[in-house]
Amino acid sequence: MPTFTRRVLLGAVCALSIAAPLVAAQPTTKPVLHGKHWVAITGKPLGATAGAMMFAKGGNAVDAACAMLGATATMWDVLSWGGETQALIYNPHTGEVKGINALGVAPTGATPEFFRDQGMVYPPEYGPLAAVTPGTPGGLMVMLAEFGTLSLAEVLAPSMEMARGYPIEAQQADNMERRRDVILQWPDSTRVFLPHLDDDSQQRAAPYPGEIFKQPDLLATLQKLVDAEAAALAAGKSRKEAIYAAYERFYKGDIAAEIVRATREHGGLFTREDLANWQVHIEEPVTTNYRGIDVYKLTTWVQGPAMLQALNILEGYDLKSMGYNSSRYIHTLYQAMNLAFADRDFYYGDPYFPPEEPVAGLLSKQYAAARRKEIDPARNNPDARPGDPYAFQRGSNPFKDLLQQWTPIPPSSDAEGAEGFQQAGLMSHDEGFLAGTTSIQAADAEGWVVSVTPSGGWVPAFIAGNTGIGLSQRMQSFVLDERINPYNVVAPGKRPRATLTPSLALKDGKPLMAFSVQGGDTQDQNLLQFFLNMVEFDMNVQQAAEAHNITSYQMQSSFGAHQSQPGRLEVTPQVTPYTRAALEKMGYTVETVERTYSPITAIWFDAEHGTMWGGASDYGEDYGIAW
């Protein structure tokens, strides 16, 4: 071999050999949070402070997570009190991971025929008809009652103080002003979000950044919950029973009555029975093992199993040897996600509503091996389709005919009137695809670990009467056409398949990391890359949270017109021009942006030193406190 050739090859080998250490040594914008006693992280610094206040009272991580949930909902951190909550909780006393399913359901009368009669091809993007039953109050109270230690009054104290008035941040204040025309459709929303509307001396209708933003109606509603708890305690009820007394008042008492009245007055479908019959489910999560690490997600009522499917497919590759964000790595990652998300788009739906989703087959290692064989190592597949997991579990596929008809781009997205359902096009495809929420991580020295991704009821929310409660917009994640997804067709009492997806990972039965992310359909692709950044590329939790992810738009959006854009790939300038050119040759439409959307929050558990490391992306305002 010529000397020059040997030198070139030796240089290439050396470059590959130092790639991983260079990745691991990258500087970060924010420091790691180090804690011995507890860590609290969420979407807003004030929200994290609420969690810290619970730890200061002697509460555990569940108490802190509930306080952060209430605070961020009060701050309208792309969610509100009428939205939905989903959580994973590790119980150190049992060694078990439990899921919290507090996603609302479609109301009475919400059928495909109803929405088609309105000229819609999907349920609407916002307003009373976009609302599923409120889930966050119930989710918070069930988590607190079953796994917390403090009273509801203690946990709601930060939220109530904020409802009395807190200095609103620029991001949310400006969002209220930007959505002014939509908000003006509803008097109660107008009263809350646009306090300067009738003041000619003001330059805007919404609050100014830093102004004290007051929500007296919400404060009164939270006070009713605290009063119900106090009355039950005075009557000799236990702590848990008293919290459930507050739960009953929200879903079966005067609060429920006002939510139903106000919603129906503006064309919504809620009935008293819809709220009274809804319930929170404490459920078993789904899991897979990736190279000795047990990863836990909620099941098919969210998109979480898609990350587990992708991990099962990727386990068959030596990802580390490919090099971080090399063309081979990005291509392999993208193709695994294509297959997993195609299955999500066809098979995922409410597990408490027939037909039963084929979860065992979807998460089978043998199914993953079969799907892996479909990947072309040299080309993107713009027609990646759902597989047939029924071959890997008992039973036969009840929707073979629909499976054969399935297309990556939903058949209804190009239908006449497809834009009309949006009621003036509130969000573009990209805005819906990336639509944020908040995320919550909490852990304590006793061993409790909580990961939450609440959402729903974001501005411009429909506020229900004098409750101060902004309702969810999650109905838009249903479909009306079974050809798109026969498991996710809207029906009364059914949950839409949501994007919200907290994560826990255990090693040798002990917590290794808790992680979740704001966003819409980007969530599990962000979380997948975060996990691989730590496990395969030796980043610490803050480096992994700040790392520049790629974004695929090939899966069907869960919002708006449910569009798909096969082959569209976003990368940052950290991906070299050579790599971008190689990806384009593979059939990708590569877009270079300064930063892809990946506001991760996470906690990593240092078993060697018995400490906790917290991380939060530098994308937005996410951060935390540790002690």
pLDDT tens per residue across span 166-195? 999 998 999 999 999 999 999 999 999 999
pLDDT band at 6 (very low <50, low <70, confident <90, very high): very low
Contacts of 239 (CB under 8 A, 6+ apart): 145, 151, 233
* Domain span including residue 374: 302-405
**Residue 1: pLDDT over 90:** no
Task: With respect to residue 309, please indicate whether it lies within any of the assigned structural domains.
Answer: yes
pLDDT digit string (tens) for 349-389?
999 999 999 999 999 999 999 999 999 999 999 999 999 99
pLDDT band at 160 (very low <50, low <70, confident <90, very high): very high
CA 343 from centroid of its chain's CA atoms: 18
Average pLDDT over residues 77-82: 92
Determine the Cα–Cα distance for residues 57 and 383; give it in Å rounded to an integer. 55
pLDDT band at 429 (very low <50, low <70, confident <90, very high): low
Q: Smallest Cα–Cα separation from 602: which of 474, 512, 479, 493?
A: 512
Longest dimension (CA), the chain: 91
Amino acid letter, residue 222? L
The encoded tokens of residue 565 equal: 């854009």
pLDDT digit string (tens) for 568-618?
999 999 999 999 999 999 999 999 999 888 899 999 999 999 999 999 998
Q: Smallest Cα–Cα separation from 413: which of 359, 345, 348?
A: 345
Query: Counting Cβ atoms within 10 Å, is residue 549 exposed (0-12), middle (13-18) or buried (19+)?
Result: buried
pTM (2 decimals)? 0.94
Contacts of 433 (CB under 8 A, 6+ apart): 520, 521, 522, 553, 557, 559
pLDDT band at 432 (very low <50, low <70, confident <90, very high): low
Determine the Cα–Cα distance for residues 68 and 51; give it in Å rounded to an integer. 5
**What pLDDT does 5 receive?**
37
pLDDT digit string (tens) for 189-234?
999 999 999 999 999 999 999 999 999 999 999 999 999 999 999 9
92 with 99: CB under 8 angstroms? no
Task: With respect to residue 317, please indicate whether it lies within any of the assigned structural domains.
Answer: yes
Strands 589-592 vs 568-571: parallel, antiparallel or unpaired: parallel
* CATH number of the domain that residue 380 is part of: 1.10.246.130
Determine the Cα–Cα distance for residues 143 and 247; give it in Å rounded to an integer. 12
DSSP state of 82: B
More confident site: 410 or 614: 614
Task: With respect to residue 372, please indicate whether it lies within any of the assigned structural domains.
Answer: yes
Determine the Cα–Cα distance for residues 234 and 46; give it in Å rounded to an integer. 32
Whole-angstrom Cα Rg for the chain:
24
Determine the Cα–Cα distance for residues 438 and 500; give it in Å rounded to an integer. 10
Number of domains in the chain: 1
**What pLDDT does 3 receive?**
41
Task: With respect to residue 580, please indicate whether it lies within any of the assigned structural domains.
Answer: no
Task: With respect to residue 56, please indicate whether it lies within any of the assigned structural domains.
Answer: no
pLDDT band at 424 (very low <50, low <70, confident <90, very high): very low
**What pLDDT does 426 receive?**
52
Q: Please report which residue ranges of 27-60 form alpha helices under DSSP H.
A: 45-56
**What pLDDT does 421 receive?**
39
More confident site: 22 or 69: 69
**Residue 537: pLDDT over 70:** yes
**What pLDDT does 210 receive?**
96
Task: With respect to residue 361, please indicate whether it lies within any of the assigned structural domains.
Answer: yes
Q: Order across the sheet with 286-290: list the strands.
A: 33-35, 611-616, 600-606, 510-517, 503-507, 293-297, 286-290
**Residue 107: pLDDT over 90:** yes
Task: With respect to residue 280, please indicate whether it lies within any of the assigned structural domains.
Answer: no
Q: What percent of the chain has pLDDT over 90?
A: 86
Task: With respect to residue 80, please indicate whether it lies within any of the assigned structural domains.
Answer: no
